[in-house]
Amino acid sequence: MRLLAQIFILLTTVAATAAETNYFCVVCGKGPLTGRIWMSKWGAVCDDCYRLENHCSICGLPVRPGDGCVKTGDGRYICKFDKPDAVLDSYTAREIFAAARRGLVELYGGGFALNFPDVTVNLFDVDYWSEKSHNDGLHKFGFSSTRRSPSGVCTHEVVMLSGRLRAELAATAAHEYTHLWINENIAPGRAIEPDTLEAVCELSAYTLMGAERQPEMQKKILENPYTHGKIKTLVTLAESRGVTAILDWVKTGETAGLDAPAAANWKPASAATGRKTQLPADLRFTGFFTLGTNDVAIINGLGFAPGERRSLRLRNGTALVDCREIRAGKVLVESNGIPTVLELERSK
Ligand SMILES: [Zn+2]
Ligand SMILES: [Zn+2]
């Protein structure tokens, strides 16, 4: 049980001479405890229980049959503390999936609803999983698939791993729902780089967890190595461009991957949505300098560091201009949600 070492910290090893403490074992109830005491997130654990063979698959707490834990069909245990919040039946899983789906459509807008709304949702156990995921082990907590009939009708299916906490399942539901949406909406023949595709789905999980005030879950999603860090790029892009631009890119973008906002590989949102670009025509990038560790671009006589927003007075009125990135004689700016690249004007 490698996991255990991370979850338990040795509280005290005051050996046999230890005076009585106020600690009682949260597993067997024994106490007040003396001698070696182990500390879990739920409270103290006696040395006997620490040596138990079975552990909660969610938190690692030692469990013994009869202490209030449950055993899943595939032999995993869930401790009495995690049991109330663990999802063990398909009915609850369907409710959580439906709520995640509603939440995402509220957050992303009506365009994120499915054209073929029926989704079969089921919960499966580890045995099923190991077979489905082959060498992938338990890296994945959900699967989704869409079958498209010759006439174009989509049939959606989602399966998710049982015995996880409600919030974890909601995050997985958001991820899998996004796969279904992509399956319906991606342009025929379009290929997206796999890590980026998964990161788009993780972005939904991240966004939903934000709306549900689950900062710990958001942190886990950001730190999960599953997308090789692409999730961080996507979160940054969603903050600077809005998620609609990312969804448009998923549907009809011309590149296989998305990088941090860089002039070279970001297709402007206006092009993706077919909106007419109306940028202030008289923006002028006339120089740049370095201030400390920051590059500063001079646009219409004002200094902009990346991330700065300033109001500029232009011919047709005032425009709020955001500086996104400065590199190699170019600056990426955005005004009214329209990105544009300005080239450094050479003095004549
Ligand atoms: Zn005990
Ligand atoms: Zn537990």
pTM of the full structure: 0.67
Residue 97 or residue 17, greater confidence: 97
Per-residue pLDDT, 332: 85
| End position of a domain, from candidates 270, 285, 319 | 270
pLDDT of residue 279: 57
CA of 77 to the centre of ligand 1 (A): 17
Query: Is there a single domain that holds both residue 179 and residue 259?
Result: yes
Asked whether residue 327 falls in the same domain as residue 215, the answer is: no
pLDDT score recorded for residue 3: 41
Task: Classify residue 112: in a domain, yes or no.
Answer: yes
Write down the pLDDT at residue 135.
Answer: 44
Q: Quick one: pLDDT band at residue 334, thresholds 50, 70, 90?
A: confident
Tell how far the Cα of 92 is from the centroid of ligand 2, in angstroms: 19
* pLDDT(275) > 80: no
- pLDDT reported for residue 113: 96
Give pLDDT, residue 289: 73
Residue 222 located in a structural domain: yes
Distance 165 CA to ligand 2 centre (A): 10
Q: Residue 8 C-alpha to ligand 2 middle, in angstroms?
A: 12
Q: Which ligand is the nearest neighbour of the Cα of 40? A: 2
- Ligand 2 center–CA 99 separation, angstroms: 25
Based on the domain organization, do 45 and 169 belong to the same domain? no
Rounded mean pLDDT, 147-173: 93
Residue at 124 is within a domain: yes
Q: Is residue 311 part of a domain?
A: yes
State both tokens at 145: 């698939």
Same domain, yes or no: 146 and 253: yes
Contact of 334 with 322, CB cutoff 8 Å: yes
CA angle 169/111/107 to nearest 5° reads 50
179 and 288: one domain? no
Asked which of 270, 285, 300 is the last residue of a domain, the reply is: 270
CA angle 312, 303, 240 (to 5 degrees): 70
In a domain, 288, yes or no: yes
Distance from Cα 5 to the centre of ligand 1, integer Å: 17
**Got the DSSP string for 196-228?**
HHHHHHHHHHHHHHHHTT-HHHHHHHHH-GGGT
Residues 99 and 40 in one domain: no
**In angstroms, what is the span from residue 166 Cα to ligand 1's centroid?**
28
User: Do 239 and 112 belong to one domain?
Assistant: yes
User: Do 143 and 255 belong to one domain?
Assistant: yes
pLDDT in tens, 102-154: 999 999 999 999 999 999 999 988 766 555 554 443 447 888 999 999 898 99
Give the ligand whose atoms come closest to the C-alpha of residue 56.
2
Task: Say how many domains are in the chain.
Answer: 3
Residue whose pair of structure tokens reads 């590149």 in the numeric block:
255
207 and 223 belong to one structural domain: yes
Domain identity same for 253 and 106: yes
Q: Of 45, 62, 81, which residue is a domain's last?
A: 81
134 shares its domain with 29? no
Q: Answer whether residue 245 shows pLDDT above 70.
A: yes
Which of the pair, 179 or 34, is modelled with greater confidence? 179
- CA 309 – ligand 2 centroid, Å: 47
Residue 348 lies in a domain: no
Amino acid 214: pLDDT: 94
Residue-range definition of the domain harbouring residue 297: 277-343
Nearest ligand to the C-alpha of residue 69? Answer: 2
Ligand closest to CA 37: 1
CB-proximal residues (5 Å) to ion ligand 1: 25, 27-28, 30, 46, 49
- Determine, yes or no, domain membership for 174: yes
pLDDT tier for residue 19 given thresholds of 50, 70 and 90: low
- 33 within some domain: yes
Quote the pLDDT of residue 261.
54
Whether residue 217 sits in one domain with residue 107:
yes
Model pLDDT, residue 269: 39
CA of 78 to the centre of ligand 2 (A): 5
Q: For position 272, what pLDDT does the model report? A: 38
Q: Is 265 helix (H, G, I), strand (E, B) or coil?
A: coil
